[in-house]
């Protein structure tokens, strides 16, 4: 892999990791399980939509996926919560899949759509994991609230990725 690309990916992974860990330290006052800003996803979206012809670095979906996996793994290790790893993984994988699929249908000005959908499915993935791990299906009743939260936070992270890409 070209050095430039590797450097970019490492930086992105580091940024995603730092955002994730800082976010983990700040408690959100909303009393709904699983609600979070999910800002680290902005980095993943950035990676997915990255295009700078002058630098001739091409980030593929696989690269973005690699960044995601590293962020999840390292995030779980560094924050010391291995159980959260299961939740992170299901949410992250589902969100990533949905975002990759949607990428075909949106323009560069509509990354917020991917962000919103990604956040929603991240939450769906987490709830699914929680239901399986705790064995109590009634947790799923939080889905409507989490869908709303997901759309709101997803639009924000999507816009962040969108605006950053426009400015670089």
Partner 1 sequence: MKSNRFWIIIFGAIILLSVIAVFIFARKQGDTVKIYQNGQLIHTGNLGMVSEPFNISVEFNGGTNIIAVEQGRIRVISANCFDGTCVRQGWHTGGLTPIVCLPNRLVITVEGKSDIDAVVG
Binding site for partner 1 (CB under 8 A): 27, 29, 31-33, 81, 83, 87, 105-107, 109-110, 113, 116, 120, 130, 133-136, 138-139, 141-145, 147-148, 151, 155
Q: Judged by CB, which is closer to partner 1: 13, or 162?
A: 162
Q: Judged by CB, which is closer to partner 1: 39, or 155?
A: 155
What sections of 51-110 are H helices per DSSP?
Answer: 61-79, 82-103
Query: Which sign, positive or negative, has the C-alpha torsion 62, 63, 66, 67?
Result: negative
Q: Judged by CB, which is closer to partner 1: 4, or 81?
A: 81
- Minimum distance, C-beta of residue 45 to partner 1, in the bound complex (Å): 15
Q: Judged by CB, which is closer to partner 1: 33, or 97?
A: 33
Beta bridge partners of 57: 52
Neighbours of 84 (CB within 10 A): 15
- Minimum distance, C-beta of residue 163 to partner 1, in the bound complex (Å): 15
- Minimum distance, C-beta of residue 67 to partner 1, in the bound complex (Å): 25
Pick left, alpha or beta for residue 57 (phi over 0 → left; psi -120 to 50 → alpha; otherwise beta). beta
- Minimum distance, C-beta of residue 167 to partner 1, in the bound complex (Å): 20
Tokens 């976010």 locate to 23
Q: Judged by CB, which is closer to partner 1: 33, or 93?
A: 33
Neighbours of 138 (CB within 10 A): 8
Q: How far apart are CA 100 and CA 119, in angstroms?
A: 13
- Minimum distance, C-beta of residue 160 to partner 1, in the bound complex (Å): 17
Q: How far apart are CA 42 and CA 151, in angstroms?
A: 14
């Amino acid at each position: 892999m070209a050095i430039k690309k590797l450097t970019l990916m490492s930086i992105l992974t580091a940024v995603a990791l730092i955002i994730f860990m800082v976010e983990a330290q700040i408690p959100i006052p909303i009393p709904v399980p699983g609600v979070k800003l999910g800002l680290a996803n902005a980095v993943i979206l950035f990676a997915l939509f990255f295009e700078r012809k002058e630098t001739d670095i091409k980030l593929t979906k696989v690269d973005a996926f690699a960044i995601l996996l590293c962020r999840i793994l390292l995030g779980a290790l560094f924050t010391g919560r291995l159980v959260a790893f299961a939740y992170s993984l299901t949410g992250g994988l589902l969100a990533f899949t949905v975002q990759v699929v949607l990428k075909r249908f949106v323009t560069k000005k509509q990354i917020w759509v991917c962000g919103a959908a990604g956040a929603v499915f991240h939450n769906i993935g987490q709830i699914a994991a929680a239901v399986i791990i705790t064995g109590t299906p009634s947790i799923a009743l939080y889905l409507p609230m989490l869908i709303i939260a997901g759309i709101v936070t997803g639009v924000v992270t999507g816009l962040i990725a969108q605006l950053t890409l426009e400015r670089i």
